[in-house]
A and B are shown apart, each in its own frame.
Chain A
Amino acid sequence: MTFLAPKDGLSIACDNFVILEDSKPAALTHEFIRFRHGPAVAAEDAKHTKIRDRSRLRLLVPRPYGHYIGQSHSVRRLRRRPRAPHAVSDFIQFEDVSRHYGSVRAVDKVSLGIGKGEFFSLLGPSGCGKTTLLRMLAGFERPDTGRVLLDGQDITDLPPERRKVNTIFQNYALFPHLSVRQNIAFGPTVARRPRREVDDEVEKMLALIQMRDHAEKRIDQISGGQKQRVAIARALINKPAVLLLDEPLAALDLKLRQRMLIELDMVHDQVGITFIFVTHDQGEAMSLADRVAVMNEGRIEQLGRPVEIYEAPQTSFVSAFIGDSNFFEGVVAEVVDAEHVRLSIDSFQDLYAFNDKGLHQGERVYLSVRPEKIRISRDRPLEGRDHNTTRAVVDDVIYLGTHTRFWLRAGEYRLAVEQQHNRFVLDDLPIRWQDEVWLQWHVDDGYMLERYAERDEALMSFPPQRVGEGDAPAESPADGRG
């Protein structure tokens, strides 16, 4: 198998073709190159582009642009996809599981299916129940109610040592009194497998993780990255059906974390088993997972592919927790046509939004617009039906290297806007504090939330302004639409 990892994450040149994967194949057999970031680059570099969708080869697109490539960036298509449960997500099933600690609901009636071979991520803030859910699958916690099934078998009451599930613990939990080799051999030794067989397997594992030279070292003599590899080998040698990863990168520093992310991804491709990855870091979840479940207060807030979670957040929690967002509160002033509504939001003239939810006039809505979707300019941009255009005053400018973040004020609202740097921007007269600027975003880039909860405002940079702040609100803002 040839595996060409992109040096800079962007350009991969290749003689034959590039494969874009919607979801990963069970095992890699042929020579090919995986490609995940930026389909446009694939189209430029490759002679052919093959599209892989759920392990089946669907389309062969001659260069340059394929039908899929145009599609993947279309927010509209994304939103119109029916949110049906994943076709093959019954390998692991949580059926209505709950776990309470005293009066705290760690996990609250969660039902979830995870597919075989899937790289699945549980994402949420600490205390959201993601680790408890993972521990139920590992066998360290029993649900108060509900069942856990693995490959059709009820494993709810099975002790951890009898489950075909292995875990990479947060700090790896490697045995400090054993060498690297003995750590890896622990599982098969405890299972009383023949000595020679164990030795062979361990040798293979050591080769896989490139730790042959360190086999006799003690755990405190190896680095953080090596520890993670040993933990992976120690788990995989037992040939589990599922590998659980409990914040495995939290103990590493930034650069190493990025490297280990790629390593984890490669390991997943090589072994092809189901990975369930628990993290509070959205970057980790987004970059690795086929699907992500965003959890909050013991429940799953949203389940979907990373791009769905980011581009089409259903709730205020998801929108505020994943990345950052600007929130607007208003009512539908008019249903313009089949696809658009005009919104009436204080401090703004007319804002239009893509009406994917079939809203009617007079309904209360919460609109979320990501900071990087908004363009900022000194000069008045061309206005069109496709764009919302408004004026704002710069409150603050924060240079962050890859981009600049602007805090702005538009009437009662405070907004965040991010601008990438490139030649045009640098050559321009820079936008400064107190400048009056124009903001513009595409109608499709404003996303209307299905549920809004006031308590999520703690996560927001700027919560939406309320009419008559301080007065009693006329109606409950929670659950803007049922």
Chain B
Amino acid sequence: MRRSLTPLVVTLAVLAFFYLPVAVLVGNSFNASRFGGEWSGFTLNWYRRLLAAPEIWHALGNTLAIALVATAGSTVLGTTAAFALDRYRSRLQDAHYLLVYAPLVIPEILLGISLLLFFVALRVQLGYPTIVVAHVTFCVSYVAMVVLGRLQDFDWALVEAAQDLGADAWTAGRRVVLPLLAPGIAAGALLAFTLSVDDFVITFFVAGPGTTTLPLRIYSMIKHGSPPLINALSTLLLTLTTTAVWLSQRLLKEAR
């Protein structure tokens, strides 16, 4: 029997639609032409110039530092939220779930504006701390959802088994719950890290004057026009986030 080619063609077309722009960007980062219209030879020149641009490294440093702190905070909060959502039965639980889930569906720009208004109302100086707080607020939801997914598969009889075998609550948590949930928690943390690293919209609102992160930096570079450098930077960023997401997926899969 002849199989139809249509599914294959459609699949390839969709993939091309998604990834062709990214591929062009990656390709252009090695293109000697300044405007990327035509291929005028392979070069690592843009990367070299990128290395020599201190303001970019400064921005990258800021971004990573913010991401690390925000990841740590949101991992702890998100994991505890997931436990609370999974373990306790209460009439308020639906509302709790909605509150944790909401940042995933609220438009980022809304979140950014409301956070900005909130900080202004509190007369908090905008700067790195406000960025971290803002990142934690939306990363918590992602961590909570990932960990909650793992918790729903978790067999609580294992904790009873541990207690039955002489472990107190603390030991059971350390020897049974934590090792089994670690992949889920790590996956949530990596996801939070990725989101924090490439967040632009919210950061844009809550960043103070003079504070900059990599996405903000890229935005201003586009405005002031140095496309080849952005291509190179974007390619590096892409590599970083893809690796993180790939790692988190692998961890989740391994845990299954």
Contact = CB atoms under 8 A, between A and B. Distances in A.
Nearest to A186: B165
A177 B166 contact: no
A161 B168 CA distance: 6
Contact of A176 (B164, B166, B171, B180): B180
Contacts of B107: none
A238 B164 CA distance: 10
A190 B157 contact: no
B62 to A, nearest CB: 38
A177 B168 contact: no
B53 interface: no
B75 to A, nearest CB: 20
Nearest to B180: A177
A167 interface: yes
Interface in B131-187: 155, 157-158, 160-168, 171, 175-176, 179-180
A235 B180 CA distance: 21
Nearest to A237: B165
B160 A173 contact: yes
Interface in A121-159: 138-140, 159
A169 B157 contact: yes
B157 A161 contact: no
A187 B166 contact: yes
Nearest to A174: B161
Interface residues of A, number: 25
A175 B176 contact: yes
A160 B180 contact: no
B106 to A, nearest CB: 37
A159 B170 CA distance: 13
Contact of B157 (A139, A170, A234, A238): A170
Contacts, number: 64
Contact of A167 (B164, B167, B168, B180): B164
- Taking chain B's interface residues, is the majority helix, strand, or loop, or is none over half, making it mixed? helix
Nearest to B183: A177
B171 A160 contact: no
A177 B166 CA distance: 18
A175 B161 CA distance: 9
Interface string A457-474: 000000000000000000
A159 B167 CA distance: 10
A255 to B, nearest CB: 26
A160 B157 contact: no
A173 B166 contact: no
A187 B165 contact: yes
Contacts of B163: 139-140, 159-161
Given A140-B160, A169-B161, A176-B180, A191 B155 contact: no
Interface of B: 155, 157-158, 160-168, 171, 175-176, 179-180
Given A138-B160, A175-B162, A177-B180, 16 more contacts: A139-B164, A140-B160, A159-B168, A160-B163, A166-B164, A169-B160, A169-B161, A173-B160, A174-B161, A175-B161, A175-B176, A186-B165, A190-B162, A190-B166, A235-B165, A238-B166
27 contacts: A138-B160, A140-B160, A140-B163, A160-B160, A161-B163, A161-B164, A161-B167, A161-B168, A166-B164, A166-B165, A167-B161, A167-B164, A169-B160, A171-B157, A174-B161, A175-B161, A175-B162, A175-B176, A176-B158, A186-B162, A187-B165, A190-B165, A190-B167, A190-B171, A190-B175, A235-B164, A238-B166
Which 9 residue pairs across A and B have the least CB separation, nearest first?
A173-B161, A187-B165, A173-B157, A160-B163, A190-B167, A167-B164, A161-B166, A177-B179, A190-B166
